[in-house]
Structure 1
Amino acid sequence: MAVDIKILDKIIRETVSAIEKSRDQIYSIAESAHHEYQRVREEIQDIRLEVAKIIDEVNKLEIEEKRARIKLMEVSKDFRRYSEQDIKSAYEKAQGIQIKLVMLREEEKTLRFKRDHLELTLKRMKDTAVKAEKLVSQVGIAMQFLTNDLSGISKKLGNLHDMQQLGLSIIRAQEEERKRVAREIHDGPAQSMANIVMRAEFCLKLLELNPSMVGGELISLQQLVRQSLQEVRKIIFDLRPMVLDDLGLFPAIKRYCEDYKTKNLLNVEIVFLGQEKRFDTSLEVAVFRIIQEALTNIKKHAKARHVIIKIELMPAKINVYIKDNGCGFNIESVKPGSGGSGYGLVGMRERIQLLKGAINILSEHGKGTEINFWIPLQNE
């Protein structure tokens, strides 16, 4: 069965185009978050000026109020010198100053509360902008992978049936991943955002009809926004662990294995040999994904209780050894099938070959599986 390279290249171009549009949308979100951040910061500055102005007025009124009380005490004691009208006038003046002082203090309290709330909002907006910028960078890496690596793969698929099936499997996996992400966004953050808009409109109406109820509604709205933020963070982490970009390969593997142990109740032992450092992005992603695929296969098929992962950093290459005590399998019998099975091992081999490395897999029924691969570091 021959591979139509033109159709495959067209699919890749369309995939790249779709990712470019997504990158532009994420960039737009980042820009909007930045502008909103600037607006909130200016609003906080204005509130601070108003608070300072009110504090100054309160200080002046406190002096006036003290003088008015002294005056009232003075006229109240000397009936021969001051008339009843003088006493009444002094009382009304003192009372008026006290009322104004109470109102100013309440206004100051309200502004301080609003300022504190806006400062929390400012922090969240800044975090959103930073995360959106990181996501733009990550999408750029995916673009680089598609335009470089997959375009190279498509040229090799002309006469290789298994490689053709691998390419189709990758495309199917991409589409399934898109559906999954779209479904999660639709059922989670998208629904929450729509609800937030409705609740915000309801708060605006309450401001006109019953302002006393606005506080409770805003607290509820705040909880809903936090929930939406948690859902977005989960989706972002599923797409790509932030720790891989922020801290590097070794911390990302540690974090993934810790989560893997917790979710699957399976003991995973990790051994690092050599000095930890950062590598080229393509190498870090390849090693991480290969280990991830190996652990996924162990969870699905091996029925293992213990896994050991040994990563050895050498001057010219990185060695990775993965062994489980599962049921094992016949390597010769595992071939890529129409149902999508067997493509995990093919994908692992293909990633390693693209980086000019090598892989060796040993397995036997009842004796577990050993995966040993190495990738050169001469490009570093």
Structure 2
Amino acid sequence: MNQAISISMLDGVIKRTIETVEASKAQIFEISEHARQQGNTLKLELHELRQEISKVIQKVDALELAYRKSRNRLVLVSRNFHTYTEEDIRIAYEEASRIQVELSIFRERENNLKRRRNDLERQLRNLEETIERAEKLVTQMGVVLGYLTGDLSKVDEALETAKQHQMMGLKIIQAQEEERKRVAREIHDGPAQSMANVVLRSEIVEKMLKNDRILEAQMELHELKEMVRMSLADVRRIIFDLRPMALDDLGLVPTLQKYIQTYEERTQVTVDLVVFGVEQPLKSSVKAAIFRLVQECLNNVEKHAGANKVQVKLEFLEDALVLVVKDDGIGFDVDQLTAKGGSFGLLGMKERAQLLEGTMELQSSPGEGTKVMFQIPVKY
């Protein structure tokens, strides 16, 4: 009873903590979004300001040239007063004075615009730093929330292997948060940034059309079309990374072939996909898990192995599916890595295999490459 009360009290404390952390996380996210909106507004203003500065500089250059010519004209008529009339001298003097005044005005305007530009650039840098700090805080809070929202109903069972499960759980949550952060960053730096540019440049096109600058507007619209096309390609790639729809439409093997082709083009690493047996219909969750295992293995090869060739072997047995990924990279000391607690990638793959009631075996040594083997029980 006391134990139940203690767990109940602990659960209440954790729930209140979770609510507080979630509220703080939402507030930080709002701050980040507000800063991002301000940044987009500043970027638009900065773009227009730079265009105006360019025009003013051109005007200043033209006025400086005109002023030099007017000064030369004034010197000429002053020295040859017997040749020119007083009216000629007066006109030359007034013209030089007028250009000098106009030049002074535009120089002052140039300086004011540059000061405003520098101020906007400084504000934009500050906003970008604020957004970066906010994103880090959101990631950290996500890790805390993921850890706090664990199931407390099996505390006694969890305590038996508390240290191991705590380490693995925390690392998995961190890996999940990093993956979410990576996807968010890809969306922010890719489609979101492109869409912001589309909004900015569409406003420029709108101004061009109002000023009857049709040809320039058509050129801008052509560039906008290309930008939207590239953004669409980025969105499709991100969607494929999150959950390849081809898994349900085409099956596991064709989806792996498509992914490997893209992987080879991006990394210049040769990947040989070998399939034994006939592909059998698998549950959607099993297909997704197998695809993620291959994806994670190849990501590890790209990041750490320094390999030139990789073999991916997929074998369909009567009651199991065997996956082997072998590379000719630099390899590593398995015992040494295990003593350090393993890596996020290997822990994640092991956890995914265990969720499928399967096994994972790792073989590697320095200079001898790496071989990862999975055996997943399946029912066709």
* TM-score normalised by length of structure 2: 0.53
Which residue identity does 2:325 align to in structure 1?
I
Matched with 2:334 is 331
- Match of 2:352? 351
Contact kept in structure 2, 1:331 and 1:363, CA below 8 Å:
yes
1:285 aligned to 2:288? yes
The aligned counterpart of 1:165 is: 167
- 1:245-256 matches, within 5 Å, as 245-256=248-259
Amino acid aligned to 1:288? F
Give the distance between the partners of 1:342 and 1:321, measured in 2 at CA: 19
Residues 97-246 of structure 1: pairs in structure 2 closer than 5 A: 157-158=158-159, 159-210=161-212, 212-213=214-215, 214-246=217-249
Judging changes above 3 Å, is the alpha-carbon distance between structure 1 residues 235 and 309 closer, same or farther for their aligned structure 2 residues?
closer
Amino acid at match of 1:362: Q
Alpha-carbon distance in 2 for matches of 1:297, 1:357: 20
SS of the equivalent of 1:334 reads helix
Separation of aligned partners in 2, 1:237 and 1:336: 35
Displacement of 1:337 in angstroms is: 4.5
Change (3 A) 1:189 1:325: closer
Looking at structure 2, the residues matched to 281 and 211 of structure 1 have their Cα atoms a distance apart, in angstroms, of 54
Q: Does the 8 Å contact 1:336/1:343 carry over to 2?
A: no
AA aligned to 1:364 is S
Rounded to whole Å, the distance in 2 between the matches of 1:157 and 1:344 is 23
Q: Does 1:370 align with 2:371?
A: yes
The structural deviation recorded for 1:7 is 5.8
Q: Say whether the 8 Å CA contact 2:359–2:376 is kept in structure 1.
A: yes
Partners of 1:249 and 1:278 within 8 A in 2: no
Q: Unmatched 5+ residue regions in structure 1?
A: 19-145
Measure, in 2, the Cα distance between the counterparts of 1:296 and 1:262.
Answer: 14
Shift of 1:204: 4.3
What displacement does 1:272 show? Answer: 0.6
Runs (5+) with no aligned partner, structure 2: 1-9, 27-145
- Matched residue, 2:310: 307
Change (3 A) 1:356 1:209: same
Secondary structure of 2:224's partner? helix
Query: Highest relative contact order (Cα 8 Å, sep 6+), 1 or 2?
Result: 1
**1:312 CA displacement:** 0.8
Shift of 1:375: 0.8
Q: 1:277 to 1:10 in 2, by over 3 A?
A: farther
SS of structure 1 residue aligned to 2:265: helix
Q: CA 1:210 to 1:254, structure 2 compared with 1: closer, same or farther past 3 Å?
A: same
Please tell me the residue identity of whatever aligns with 1:281. Answer: S
Cα distance change of structure 1 residues 265 and 184 upon mapping to structure 2, 3 Å threshold: closer
Q: Is the 8 A contact 1:318 1:375 kept in 2?
A: yes
Shift of 1:332: 2.1
Q: Classify 1:7/1:220 alpha carbon distance in 2 versus 1 (closer, same or farther; 3 Å).
A: same
| Alignment partner of 1:258 out of 250, 258, 261 | 261
Letter in 2 for 1:196: V
Aligned residues: 241
352-361 vs 243-252, which moves further? 243-252
The answer on whether the counterparts of 1:317 and 1:375 sit within 8 Å (CA) in structure 2 is yes
Asked if 2 retains the 8 angstrom alpha-carbon contact of 1:162 and 1:336, the reply is no
Structure 1 equivalent of residue 57 of structure 2? none
The Cα offsets for residues 276-334 of structure 1, whole Å up to 9 and x where unpaired, read as 24411221122112222222333333333332221111221111122223333332222
Matched, 1:361 2:358: no
Partner Cα separation in structure 2 for residue 266 and residue 220 of structure 1:
34
Other structure's SS at 2:246 match: helix
Compute the displacement of 1:201 (Å): 3.9
RMSD: 3.7
- TM (norm. structure 1) is 0.53
Contact 2:280-2:316 at 8 Å conserved across structures = no
**What is the distance in 2 between the residues matched to 1:266 and 1:206?**
48
